[in-house]
Amino acid sequence: MGQISQGLSERAEKVLVDGGNSASRGPRVFKPYPPYIARAEGCRLYDVDGESYIDWMNAFGALSTGHAHPVVVEAASRAVATGAHYAAAIPEEIEYAELIVDMVPVAEKVRFANSGTEACMAAIRLARGHTGRKKIVKFEGHYHGWADSLLLTTNPQPVTTLGHENSPVGIVDSSGIPQGAIEDTIVLPWNNIEVLERVFRDRGHEIACVATEGVMANIGVIHPKDGYLQRMQELCREYDALLYLDETVTGFRVAPGGCIEMYGLEPDIVTYGKAIGHGFPLAAICARAELMDGFGWGKVMHFGTFNAHRVGVTAGLAGTKTLAANGNAGFRHLTEIGQATVRGITEVVASQNRHQILCQSVGSLFQFYFTDLPEITDFRDYCAYADSAKFARFANHLRDFGVYISPSNTLHNCSTLGHSDQEVEVTVKAFAEALKTFE
């Protein structure tokens, strides 16, 4: 590890909380200290000490086109040079909304926001405003941002603290959250349809919406059981609750239409973040026109000086159009590279017997776990059987071999347009070499 990064980390510890501006990127996770990045291009990171890494974290999934993609750079530069933000009507916000409506089957109108957290907050408020109900259902291990009413049971816990699956204990993940903020949030285990059916039978008339990820992407990568999301949708229809699909991670990444397309869903509300901005802070809430009109003046409030920020909208539009060009060729590339990496890692794991490792993936998203389980299907599996401490040690070890992933096992890895078969080959070889010397 480089001396310049070490010095910067020591300075950061003095003036930044946890040595950074998000715990997941500082010295509490990256050991003994994080590499400080000086520049990036394509799928490569270059730190201040002159080391380079193949990046599979990609700003936690926000960079589907990769670092400094020429089309995105040109669009952002043009926007900055002509006025970064006006807080006024701009043509680009219309064009991007039209593209989203064209790509997302359930979207008739769009409202731009600045982050996944903000979009999730607005979606919950819209659901409550539309239905006149208070209760919301969220699932263990699903992260919908750090808003008070949604910050329950998102961090891994000893499985003995979670309670019975039929009556889970909702664990507040932060100090400073008043009881009143969470009393209308019902926390349930995911991928368990029997529990969801029972809750709807008992309280369905109180539920404004069910909030769910299409793929559980904040505990690594966990896919839904066959028919689970479809049955969830049926229950929402039966009890006049709204189905709110959070595609902050999966949107504009796993498929052109995201999980809606992959699983044949028709959610009432869907939100996007991360990849929609191609490296810039941008998010969106989408729904059919009748629902979205609830944001109209004087109904369900959602304002914001930086909504549809000109640089973010212009750059995001350029990036998404690049992915969708030539019959969605960019999206196919993301999936092909992601799956090729998974195959390579799986072959490496099968060729050795020192470590039990499971690799799970959906489209271009993938994560591996140190576990002897054949499959991780929910938050409880992860808490009980995934060795996250061992994963963190390996991720930090893997960086010595030129491969950059987050040491947090709850996060995910992903491909970009900047990755090619060559980077897949190098990554798989590095993975194999790192395992040989890992204890």
Which of 321, 339, 373 marks a domain boundary?
Answer: 321
Looking at the structure, tell me whether residues 364 and 261 fall in a common domain: no
What pLDDT shows up at residue 29? 86
Looking at the structure, tell me whether residues 262 and 343 fall in a common domain: no
Q: Which of 135, 138, 228, 246 is catalytic?
A: 246
Looking at the structure, tell me whether residues 77 and 127 fall in a common domain: yes
Q: By the 8 A CB rule, do 119 and 128 touch?
A: no
Quickly list DSSP for 390-433. Answer: HHHHHHHHHHTTTEE--S-TTS-EE--TT--HHHHHHHHHHHHH
C-alpha 81/C-alpha 79 separation (Å) is: 6
Kindly state the average pLDDT of the residues 152-172: 94
Q: Which of 47, 53, 96, 274 is catalytic?
A: 274
Tokens of 340: 């090729």
Looking at the structure, tell me whether residues 130 and 181 fall in a common domain: yes
Asked if the model's pLDDT at residue 265 lies above 90, the reply is yes
> Rounded to 5 degrees, what are φ and ψ at 14?
-80, -30
E strands, 205-342, in order:
207-213, 242-247, 269-272, 283-287
Q: Which of 33, 96, 143, 263 is catalytic?
A: 143
Which of 306, 321, 336 marks a domain boundary?
Answer: 321
pLDDT in tens, 51-102: 999 999 999 999 999 999 999 999 999 999 999 999 999 999 999 999 999 9
The CATH number of residue 192's host domain is: 3.40.640.10
pLDDT in tens, 195-239: 999 999 999 999 999 999 999 999 999 999 999 999 999 999 999
Kindly state the average pLDDT of the residues 161-168: 94
Kindly state the average pLDDT of the residues 123-133: 98
Buried b (16+ CB within 10 A) or exposed e, 224-240: beeebbeebbebbeebe
Kindly state the average pLDDT of the residues 307-324: 98
Kindly state the average pLDDT of the residues 121-125: 98
Quickly list DSSP for 101-155. Answer: HHHSTT-SEEEEESSHHHHHHHHHHHHHHHH---EEEEETT----S-GGG-BS-S
> Rounded to 5 degrees, what are φ and ψ at 228?
-65, -50
Residue labelled with tokens 């893997």? 398
Looking at the structure, tell me whether residues 197 and 257 fall in a common domain: yes
pLDDT in tens, 286-308: 999 999 999 998 899 999 999 99
Looking at the structure, tell me whether residues 254 and 135 fall in a common domain: yes
C-alpha 224/C-alpha 407 separation (Å) is: 24
pLDDT in tens, 376-403: 999 999 999 999 999 999 999 999 999 9
Looking at the structure, tell me whether residues 346 and 308 fall in a common domain: no
Domain that holds residue 212: 70-321
Q: Which of 396, 358, 411 is CA-nearest to residue 156? A: 411
The CATH number of residue 401's host domain is: 3.90.1150.10
Q: What is the pTM of this model?
A: 0.96
What pLDDT shows up at residue 236? 98
Region for residue 189 given its phi and psi (left: phi exceeds 0; alpha: psi -120 to 50; beta: otherwise): beta
Looking at the structure, tell me whether residues 54 and 178 fall in a common domain: no
E strands, 169-315, in order:
185-188, 207-213, 242-247, 269-272, 283-287
Which of 321, 336, 368 marks a domain boundary?
Answer: 321
Q: Does a cis peptide bond (omega within 30 degrees of 0) precede residue 70?
A: no
Quickly list DSSP for 194-217. Answer: HHHHHHHHHHGGGEEEEEEESSB-
Residue labelled with tokens 């000490």? 49
With bands split at pLDDT 50, 70 and 90, how would you rate the model's confidence at 345?
Answer: very high
Tokens of 269: 């509300």
What pLDDT shows up at residue 71? 98
Tokens of 366: 């993938």
Looking at the structure, tell me whether residues 307 and 382 fall in a common domain: no
E strands, 293-377, in order:
357-362, 365-370
Asked if the model's pLDDT at residue 1 lies above 80, the reply is no
Looking at the structure, tell me whether residues 332 and 316 fall in a common domain: no
Count of residues in the chain? 439
Whole-angstrom distance between the N-terminal and C-terminal Cα of the chain?
Answer: 19
Q: Which of 365, 202, 189, 191 is CA-nearest to residue 275? A: 365
Task: Decide if 246 is catalytic.
Answer: yes
Asked if the model's pLDDT at residue 18 lies above 90, the reply is no
CA distances, 58 to each of 3, 98, 195, 417 (Å) = 24, 27, 36, 11
Tell me whether strands 207-213 and 242-247 are parallel, antiparallel or unpaired.
parallel
> Rounded to 5 degrees, what are φ and ψ at 256?
-55, -40
Q: Which residues contact 3 (CB under 8 A, 6 or more apart)?
A: 49
> Rounded to 5 degrees, what are φ and ψ at 323?
-65, -35
Asked if the model's pLDDT at residue 2 lies above 90, the reply is no
Looking at the structure, tell me whether residues 315 and 348 fall in a common domain: no
Q: By the 8 A CB rule, do 304 and 245 touch?
A: no
Buried b (16+ CB within 10 A) or exposed e, 117-150: bbbbbbbbbbbbbbbebebbbbbbbbbbbbbbbb
Looking at the structure, tell me whether residues 117 and 176 fall in a common domain: yes
C-alpha 212/C-alpha 242 separation (Å) is: 11
Question: How many structural domains are present in the chain?
Answer: 2
Q: Which residues contact 69 (CB under 8 A, 6 or more apart)?
A: 278, 319, 322, 417, 418
